[in-house]
Amino acid sequence: MGNILALIFIIPLIDKSLSPLTRYSRMLLIHRVNSVRNAILPFLNPRPKGMDADSKALEEMISLYHPPISLSDNLTDNEINQLRHHSKKMLTGLHPARSPSCRIEYHIFQYDNNRVNMFSIQHDRIDEWKTSNKPLILYFHGGGFVFGGIDTYSGFECHLSKHLDMLVLHVDFRFAPDYSLSNILKDVIGVYEVLLQVDPNIHRRLIGMGDSSGGMLWIYLLQWIVSNKKSVPLGVVLHSPWPDLYFTDITFFMDTNIYLTVDLAFGLRQLAIGRDTDWYKLTDEEKSQLGPKKDSFEGFPPLYITAGTNEIFINDIRMMTDKARLAGVNVILDEGEGLMHTYALFHLWSSKARCIQGKSRQWIREQLLMDVELTWNIKKQSEFSC
């Protein structure tokens, strides 16, 4: 009944033709109204234990304001284009708008007769990443290897640069199904090799970061770095990473279908491996070529992992964390009770997301301080609490 009443009063605000408010103002108003209702009358929206009123309102806002992001079994080109359109609309609405003071520069990385589009993103200025002694973030975006990109993520990455006071390098790797997953994996390897060629010591000032499938790309890249005896970065932050494509302990009966559903995850995997490829008919050797190995974490740098307990990959993420710790990796798994996939990216709408971003910032600073020879000025903060 509470949701029905909310719909009656809020729908006029959702319909752009009926409201003089800007898109962000409409979304903000919807979120605030639902957040207050969830705080005062929590029984009207019984969500998972531990979910705060802001996070409940975020899920409601997504379900009210945006069409479902989904894929059917036939996976037509038109459906893929619709997926990309709706996902971009949703994520650019949930991420902060690009600040006028944010600077973005375009680069082309050449490797093995291939090219990758790269972007330097920084608040107020652009440091020269090739020769600068200042730290930087190498970011792999999410989107199931099918969507995402600079247009979708630049607002968040501008915020990230300002929040961390660091340069962000955004990798615009190729997308499935236009390109195979092996092409995408080659892109991230090629980017890291170019970085090391330009500055062999760049790993001593580099922090990796990725969300969702971008987190999986980082896990794969770290395995490649270690096996090829390259220098690992100082640390890597993973927001709700897909540990691999096996989906060993995916949660089929999670009581939310707001953002990343089981059906969508399987559809994205199908596009990534090839529309005509049957995952269950692949050999173990063939599967091992399509992403990270399940039990290979030796030599990894410190990891800071965030995940919501109400996302379908939470059990896989926990298992990966345990295996990494057994391999001697320094891992922090920070779970958001009752929260959804990649909740850590939505600081505009959730105090829990703002909290986790503050904690990850402190963790990044601590990793940068590990190298006593670093020349930039970073002061160690007191223990961060929310």
Domain CATH code at residue 356: 3.40.50.1820
Q: Is residue 381 part of a domain?
A: no
Q: Is residue 214 part of a domain?
A: yes
Whose CA is closest to 188, among 165, 170, 167, 164?
170
Strand order in the sheet with 114-123: 102-111, 114-123, 167-172, 136-140, 206-211, 235-239, 303-308, 331-336
Note whether 128 and 179 are same-domain residues. Answer: yes
- What is the three-class DSSP state of 384? coil
Q: What is the pLDDT of residue 354?
A: 95
Q: Quick one: CA dihedral 66, 71, 74, 75, positive or negative?
A: positive
Q: What is the pLDDT of residue 65?
A: 64
Q: At what angle do helices 181-198 and 262-273 cross, to 10 degrees?
A: 80
Note whether 69 and 110 are same-domain residues. Answer: no
Note whether 194 and 214 are same-domain residues. Answer: yes
Q: Give the pTM.
A: 0.90
Question: Looking at residues 220-244, what average pLDDT do you find?
Answer: 97
Question: Looking at residues 198-207, what average pLDDT do you find?
Answer: 96
Nearest 5°: phi and psi at 156? Answer: -65, -40
- Quick one: pLDDT band at residue 38, thresholds 50, 70, 90? confident
Q: Report yes or no: 216 and 292 within 8 Å, Cβ to Cβ.
A: yes
Note whether 154 and 187 are same-domain residues. Answer: yes
- Quick one: pLDDT band at residue 17, thresholds 50, 70, 90? very low
- Tell me the β-bridge partners of 333: 305
Nearest 5°: phi and psi at 48? Answer: -60, 150
Nearest 5°: phi and psi at 365? Answer: -60, -40
Q: Report yes or no: 284 and 218 within 8 Å, Cβ to Cβ.
A: no
Q: Report yes or no: 305 and 260 within 8 Å, Cβ to Cβ.
A: no
Note whether 109 and 197 are same-domain residues. Answer: yes
Rounded-to-10 torsion of CA 203, 206, 207, 213: -80
Final residue of a domain: which of 82, 106, 128? 82
Note whether 262 and 162 are same-domain residues. Answer: yes
- Quick one: pLDDT band at residue 382, thresholds 50, 70, 90? very low
Average of per-residue pLDDT values in the chain:
87
Note whether 36 and 142 are same-domain residues. Answer: no
Q: Is residue 345 part of a domain?
A: yes
- Quick one: pLDDT band at residue 363, thresholds 50, 70, 90? very high
Q: Is residue 65 part of a domain?
A: yes
pLDDT at residue 13 tops 50: no
Final residue of a domain: which of 61, 82, 103? 82
* DSSP structure class, residue 303: E
Question: Looking at residues 325-340, what average pLDDT do you find?
Answer: 95
Note whether 74 and 121 are same-domain residues. Answer: no
> Angle CA(355)–CA(331)–CA(192) in degrees, nearest 5?
95
Note whether 70 and 99 are same-domain residues. Answer: no
Q: Is residue 9 part of a domain?
A: yes
Q: Is residue 100 part of a domain?
A: yes
Q: Which residue has the tokens 């892109």?
A: 187
Domain count, the chain: 2
Final residue of a domain: which of 59, 82, 105? 82
Note whether 196 and 221 are same-domain residues. Answer: yes
Note whether 63 and 23 are same-domain residues. Answer: yes
- Quick one: pLDDT band at residue 74, thresholds 50, 70, 90? confident
Q: Is residue 107 part of a domain?
A: yes
Q: Is residue 207 part of a domain?
A: yes
- Quick one: pLDDT band at residue 257, thresholds 50, 70, 90? low
Note whether 78 and 96 are same-domain residues. Answer: no
Q: Per mean pLDDT, which of 6-15, 275-284, 325-334 is the most reliable?
A: 325-334
Instruction: Kindly report, residue by residue over 106-125, the tens digit of the pLDDT.
Output: 999 999 888 999 999 999 99
Q: Report yes or no: 31 and 349 within 8 Å, Cβ to Cβ.
A: yes
**Domain span at 48:** 2-82
